[in-house]
């Protein structure tokens, strides 16, 4: 069964802390994505990556950075967490070589910043 695994389901951090959200996929996918999900706003793309060490900004990259050192792993970094970054974060992956339009999502990481 294909799988996207996010390291933490629930996190509570304090304002100003550095936060790492980890995502691993086992499907050998080229594309990986980080979305943020908020009520009434749907999913908004933060960053995406087409390949190792490659990254591109999505629609709301401010306050975030990413790292992709290995094909299977895509990390989202909040350099200095703020309360307005309290949200559900969803990682997804897809194949670049075989276009189906299907993204495979992890279960999400719910982050609360106090």
Partner 1 sequence: GNSVTQMEGPVTLSEEAFLTINCTYTATGYPSLFWYVQYPGEGLQLLLKATKADDKGSNKGFEATYRKETTSFHLEKGSVQVSDSAVYFCALSSNFGNEKLTFGTGTRLTIIP
Which residues contribute to the site for partner 1 (CB under 8 A)? 4, 31, 33, 35, 40-45, 48, 50, 58, 90, 92, 94, 96, 99, 101-103, 105-108
Which one, 18 or 96, has the nearer CB to partner 1? 96
**Least distance (Å) between residue 76 CB and partner 1:** 15
Q: Please state the closest distance from residue 14 (CB atom) to partner 1, in A.
A: 26
Name the nearest CA neighbour of 96 among 76, 74, 71, 73: 71
* 31-55 per-residue burial string, b: 16 or more CB within 10 A, e: under 16: bbbbbbeeeeeebebbbbbeeeeeb
Q: Two tokens at 44?
A: 């908004």
Residue 52 Cβ, how far from partner 1 at the closest point, in Å?
A: 16
Cα-trace Rg, the chain: 13
């Amino acid at each position: 069964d294909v799988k996207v695994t996010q390291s933490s389901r629930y996190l509570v951090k304090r304002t100003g802390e550095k936060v790492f959200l980890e995502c691993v996929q086992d499907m050998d996918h080229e594309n990986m994505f980080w979305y943020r999900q908020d009520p009434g706003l749907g999913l908004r793309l933060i960053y995406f990556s087409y390949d190792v060490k490659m990254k591109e900004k999505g629609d709301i990259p401010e306050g975030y950075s990413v790292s992709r050192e290995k094909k299977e792993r895509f990390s989202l970094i909040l350099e200095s967490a703020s309360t307005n970054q309290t949200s559900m974060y969803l990682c997804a992956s897809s194949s670049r070589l075989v276009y189906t339009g299907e993204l495979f999502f992890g279960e999400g990481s719910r982050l609360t910043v106090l």
